[in-house]
Amino acid sequence: MAVPPLVTINAHTTASSPRPHILYAVRVTRGGKDTVVHRRYSEFIALHNTLRPGKELAAFLPPKRILVTSFLPSAWLGDILIKERKTGLAVYLNALLDHPTYQDAPALNEFLNASDRSRTPFDLEDALPSTMSRKKALELKAQLLNGNGKSEVNAEATMIAAAYYPDWAEDTFPPESLDYTRWSILFFAFAVPNASSTLTWDAGSQSMLTRTVTAARNSGAGTRIVLSVGGWGGSVYFSQCVSTAANRKTFVNTLASAVTTYGLDGIDIDWEYPNQVGAGNINSPSDSANLLLFFTQLRTALGSSKIISAAVPDEPWLGSNGSPLTNVSAYAAQMTYLNIMNYDVFQSSSTPGPNAPLGNLCSNSSLPNYSAEAAFSQWTGAGFPASKMLLGLPLYGYVSNSTANVLKGSFVDPTPTTEEVKGGANPQGKHARPRTSPTPIKPDSNGSASTPSETNGSGSSTDTPSTNAPSTDATANLQSWFGQEIPFSSIVASGALVGLAGGTFGGGGGFTEGWDNCSDTPYLFNTSQSTVVTYDDTFSLGDKATFAKTSGMAGCFTWSLDQDDGVVLQNVIRASLGLS
């Protein structure tokens, strides 16, 4: 069998006609002989569009900038961009040459052997970065509109279905076992900032991250892997890490090195929260201002193609005056996604309330600023584009020691206590290690008894307990979970929630299902055991995902993938986003 040619791209040059642009020197080694052809980035795109390889190969091709929604002057840092593309374009060509379907394709042969004279039109992505101001780039983009009035550089239209993948899930959900086709992005959690402005890792988590990247790439699903930094218990040193120019430089260099070392698609900053105590954080009135400086430097270091996201509460970060920021557009300019943690609004209490309200649907919530609808309004009102937002959806609930059979926590009367609302009057979603003593049960490979296929989001019609909940001889008991979070899979495994015809769920094991119209969420109760479970199911998650889509958001993410019953809930979320 003939040895396929080897491609290297270690050099580039520039040309001035028709506009200043970059030419990559493609060196092709065959049988000890080298030939070099010069190609623009747009010519690689033209080759890709001709061959139309599958996702497995397409993942190697360095992406276009999405100028329609996220063009920044700082994105035009030539050295970083050119270095990234040299590496990525060479990997892409070698992957084609190693693939039996494409290695002898005429289009590939012509690309590697033809003269340097280009046969493709000039594209904005070919431009020499140092010659382009933001104004000039946008003017050029307008000039390059084709005859149909559509730009050659398009924003990503596909909805995002993402999830957080915590490192403590390695034993029950090893990277090699995941169905990567279910997720557009996995946020690998966590690496933790430390007092040296570098990162601390859990034992074995770096190996697990390497395995995750490898498994995702081998899957051919195109899933992007992003390192999440911080978390509820890991935000102690964020303020210190961004407080000075020297600390920011060290921290940025550490994160950029991690992206390179592990072949990551970006960084997620899970600071909970700037200018707040959180779980014992160092904090300062300057935190949010320093966060912006940090994001700007991180964007410069990572370049425009990498993801920069942040997990945030329902209200914008607090400014120096202790109030939510009223203008976050400068942050949005540096970021790819804003991950809204719309959960943990009400936790365990004697008067339970919803974990993740869709909205203040009865106009009587004691916490009207904490819901999916409120979060969307508050962040967009402060200048963050909806098209860059991901709505957070919980795959867990709370178990309360309560004799209630309707939800009261979301109502003005009675007023929640500090036990009910984390942080007193300032509830916010959080990403934390499980506080549960029971070990979550891994679902079998088939998920639950039936796969949801209907997601009309109707739920029960009143705020009173459902009367059609199934009965069973088995008795479920969740009292060992009092005061704690409980994964959806553990609710099902306990028998308190059972699969129904059509892929929905209902109460079982002595538990009755109710529906809270004021928050659009379900709950379970067993008064004889003084137990109430507030959670989300196929209906409520489908409704929130539909809200994200119809509101023009980028998509949804879940906390966290290991708490699903297989991929039952994830499949409903995908369907509601219009994904297969």
Percent of the chain with pLDDT over 90: 61
Sorting pLDDT into bands at 50, 70 and 90, what band is 66?
very low
Nearest to 397 by CA among 355, 429, 448: 355
Query: What pLDDT, in 10s, does the model give residues 252-299?
Result: 999 999 999 999 999 999 999 999 999 999 999 999 999 999 999 999
**Number of helices followed by number of strands (H, E) in the chain:** 15, 19
Segments of 102-259 assigned E as strands: 160-166, 185-193, 199-201, 224-230
Q: What is the mean pLDDT of the chain?
A: 83
Q: Which two tokens stand for residue 158?
A: 């596909």
pLDDT value, residue 82: 78
pLDDT value, residue 151: 36
* String of DSSP letters for 170-198: TTTS-GGG--GGG-SEEEEEEEEE-TTSS
- Determine whether 371 is exposed, middle or buried from the number of CB atoms within 10 Å of its CB (0-12, 13-18, 19+): buried
pLDDT value, residue 131: 53
pLDDT at 153 over 50: no
Lowest mean pLDDT among 213-222, 244-253, 461-470: 461-470
Give the number of residues written for the chain.
580
**Helix, strand, or coil (residue 26):** strand
Sorting pLDDT into bands at 50, 70 and 90, what band is 462?
very low
pLDDT at 163 over 60: yes
pLDDT value, residue 138: 53
pLDDT at 436 over 50: no
pLDDT value, residue 406: 92
Sorting pLDDT into bands at 50, 70 and 90, what band is 496?
very high
Tell me the one-letter amino acid at 9.
I
pLDDT at 564 over 80: yes
pLDDT value, residue 142: 57
pLDDT value, residue 14: 77
Tell me the one-letter amino acid at 501.
A
Hey, what domains does the chain have and what are their CATH numbers?
6-143 (3.30.1520.10), 160-576 (3.20.20.80)
pLDDT at 398 over 60: yes
pLDDT at 251 over 50: yes
Angle at 230 between CA 229 and CA 233, to 5 degrees: 155
Sorting pLDDT into bands at 50, 70 and 90, what band is 516?
very high
pLDDT at 155 over 50: no
The CA distance from 412 to 520, in Å, is 17
DSSP lists the bridge partners of residue 165 as 188
Report the pLDDT averaged over residues 450-471. Answer: 33
Lowest mean pLDDT among 36-40, 83-87, 330-334: 83-87
- For residue 247, the number of C-alpha atoms closer than 13 Å in the C-beta half-sphere is 18
Nearest to 526 by CA among 561, 478, 484: 478
Query: What is the Cα Rg of the chain in Å?
Result: 25
φ/ψ of 210, rounded to 5, equals -60, -45
Sorting pLDDT into bands at 50, 70 and 90, what band is 463?
very low
Q: Do residues 481 and 436 lie in contact, with contact meaning Cβ atoms separated by under 8 Å? A: yes
User: Cβ contacts of residue 390 below 8 Å, gap of 6+?
Assistant: 160, 162, 309, 337, 338, 339, 340, 548, 553, 554, 555, 556, 557
